[in-house]
């Protein structure tokens, strides 16, 4: 039987991009999906698509920056399906500006609130249920959580915070049967680049990425499903990310230059 048949899976940030693609990639296995984000309308259409592919699915509108709403998400998932097997903490937002050009206050806080606190709140609320099922926690961080990236100071910091949080939690959960998989995608085509907060505190509006040169959300989701099935500790989606992790130990300046070039070339 496929790993996620009847598995109760909560995915935050499921209305767009990687989260949406992950829901659609899991759906043919027949899971019980709880898809979550702020946009109820986009979630409802995703629910219909997931059902047509063989999943049971419900939508729960949640702003993950509000701990109460995260607790409510978990409560509704348990009320609907009786348990939680997998939590995918995926909701995220980014910035795109050098720190010395950032004019707007609150940007660093808002990125941290979604990426770090949102993931931490949902995980804390789901933990008692995940322990009952020897479940899976899947934290969608980034390669920017493993190394610094220019014009992404606040984002990289929030993803480093996530990696620290989930690496620590994995140790706490060592004897519980609950596993922690950290996902570190490289650039992926999604809405995040268009929605990235610029120097004036407003979304960029257009993606600055060379989208034909980066991974699709579907490709990323397919790698994630395999890593989740195997309860892998860490998935890095790109070769430069995987190799860079080791090179950073003895040639950190080289990795800084690669990160700088990736941002300049936008892929």
146 binds ligand NAP (CB under 6 A): no
Strand (E) positions, 13-144? 32-37, 56-61, 86-89, 136-140
Q: How far is the CB of 250 from ligand NAP (least distance, A)?
A: 25
39 binds ligand NAP (CB under 6 A): yes
What does the alpha-carbon distance between residue 67 and residue 235 come to, in Å, rounded to a whole number?
A: 27
Segment 57 to 96, residues that bind ligand NAP, using CB under 6 A:
62-65, 90-93
> Which of 163-172's residues contact partners 24+ apart within 8 Å by CB, and which partners?
163/139, 165/116, 165/119, 165/120, 165/123, 165/139, 166/119, 166/123, 166/137, 166/139, 166/141, 169/123, 169/137, 170/233
Place of tokens 């070339």: 265
Strand (E) positions, 101-253? 136-140, 179-184, 234-236
Q: How far is the CB of 119 from ligand NAP (least distance, A)?
A: 8
Segment 164 to 193, residues that bind ligand NAP, using CB under 6 A:
185, 187-188, 190-192
Nearest CB to ligand NAP, comparing residues 7 and 65? 65
Query: DSSP secondary-structure letter at 166?
Result: H
Could you confirm whether 155 is annotated as catalytic?
yes
Place of tokens 């996620």: 4
Of 195, 240, 248, 266, the residue at the interface with ligand NAP (CB under 6 A) is: 195
Nearest CA-CA partner of 8 in 71, 24, 26: 26
| Catalytic hit among 116, 121, 129, 155 | 155
13 binds ligand NAP (CB under 6 A): yes
Nearest CB to ligand NAP, comparing residues 132 and 203? 203
Q: How far is the CB of 177 from ligand NAP (least distance, A)?
A: 26
Q: How far is the CB of 43 from ligand NAP (least distance, A)?
A: 7
User: Given the rule CB under 6 A, which residues bind ligand NAP?
Assistant: 12-19, 37-39, 62-65, 90-93, 114-115, 118, 140, 142, 185, 187-188, 190-192, 195
């Amino acid at each position: 039987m496929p790993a996620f048949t009847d598995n109760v899976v909560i995915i935050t940030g499921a209305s767009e991009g990687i989260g949406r693609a992950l829901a659609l990639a899991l759906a043919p296995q027949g899971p019980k999906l709880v898809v979550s984000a702020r946009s109820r309308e986009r979630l409802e259409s995703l629910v219909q698509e997931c059902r047509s592919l063989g999943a049971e699915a419900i939508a729960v509108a949640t702003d993950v920056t509000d701990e109460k709403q995260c607790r409510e998400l978990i409560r509704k998932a348990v009320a609907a399906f009786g348990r939680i097997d997998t939590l995918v903490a995926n909701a995220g937002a980014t910035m795109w500006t050098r720190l010395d050009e950032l004019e707007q206050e609150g940007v660093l806080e808002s990125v941290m609130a979604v990426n770090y606190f949102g993931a931490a709140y949902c995980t804390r609320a789901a933990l008692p249920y995940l322990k009952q099922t020897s479940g899976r926690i899947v934290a969608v961080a980034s390669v920017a959580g493993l190394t610094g990236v220019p014009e992404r100071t606040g984002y990289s910091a929030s993803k480093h915070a996530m990696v620290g949080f989930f690496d620590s939690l994995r140790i706490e959960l060592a004897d519980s049967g609950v596993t922690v998989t950290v996902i570190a995608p490289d650039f992926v085509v999604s809405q995040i680049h268009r929605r990235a907060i610029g120097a004036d505190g407003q979304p960029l509006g257009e993606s600055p990425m060379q989208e034909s040169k980066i991974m699709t959300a579907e490709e990323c989701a397919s790698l994630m499903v395999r890593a989740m099935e195997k309860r892998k500790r860490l998935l890095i989606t790109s070769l430069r990310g995987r190799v860079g992790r080791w090179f950073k130990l003895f040639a950190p300046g080289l990795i800084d230059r690669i990160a700088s070039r990736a941002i300049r070339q936008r892929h």
